[in-house]
Amino acid sequence: MTNFPNPQSIMPQKSTLTKQITRWRHFRPSPDEDVLTIEEPLEIRVGGQSLIVVMRTPGHDFDLATGFLYTEGLIASADEIGAIAYCEDVDPENRQNVINVHLTNGQRLEKQEGWQRNFHANASCGLCGKMTIESVKQEAPPITSQMQIDQDVFYQLNDRLRSAQVLFDATGGLHGAGLFSAQGELQIIREDIGRHNAVDKVIGQALLTEQIALDQHIMMVSGRASFEIVQKALFARIPVIVAVSAASSLAVELAQESEMTLIGFMRGKGMTVYSRPDRIR
């Protein structure tokens, strides 16, 4: 497997900035400073060809690009990535916002006629209901993991994820995604202004460090569970998804069809289990 340089070691990236604000307390305004989450576009290119532009929080960009390609079914493993680098053919001000991924089979995407159209259809959440779920099922079979997890493990996840969200503490404006072992040990934490980006960053890091397959892991997200988050976890073969908030109807349907355990409203000593409750011991 190719060893990729850490983008943060090449070009330090800021995830937050400080702005002057006016803060009101009761009836009195006063000048103050506030720490804001940085939101910038990241263009992901494959073989020099523009694939997509995502709005993200700078940091762990290589993880994000790798996870995105993997969870959208455009690569099957990290071995298909020959190199990832920031593009040198853009102006220096935007250089940290354009990534080029070189595949070991450089013609893979070009040979898939209409791949851009198919990609946009697969990436669109809820456009065609059951047709979308059927297309996902064709690409990713149901989960077969026999993992069993003690219920007390679930009741610890929220506090462990929340305590690791350093940028959220500073800004109050980022989503978090965490990858946990079956014993509830936090192994990877990523934060981003976008929920899907945080998930892609976690899966991308797991892929690049050869932790895939993840059939003995739990993924927790700080917000709600959408169809796309369940889809991404399915492609990564993660059998259990936990969300702090609710799950959408399409997310529940995909989880049920894919034999995944989907849990929502994980707060304190309570949770709502939408599918495959038999994995909870």
Q: Which residues are catalytic?
A: 125
| Closest C-alpha among 236, 271, 232 to residue 254 | 232
DSSP the chain: -PPPPPHHHHS---SEEEEEEEEEETTEEEEEEEEEE--EEEEEEETTEEEEEEEE-SS-HHHHHHHHHHHTTS-SSGGGEEEEEE-SSS-GGGGGGEEEEEESSTTHHHHSTTHHHHHHHHHSTTSSTHHHHHHHHHHSPPP-----B-HHHHHHHHHHHHHT-HHHHHHS--EEEEEEETT--EEEEEEESSHHHHHHHHHHHHHHTT----TTEEEEESS-B-HHHHHHHHHTT--EEEESS-B-HHHHHHHHHTT-EEEEEEETTEEEEEE-GGGB-
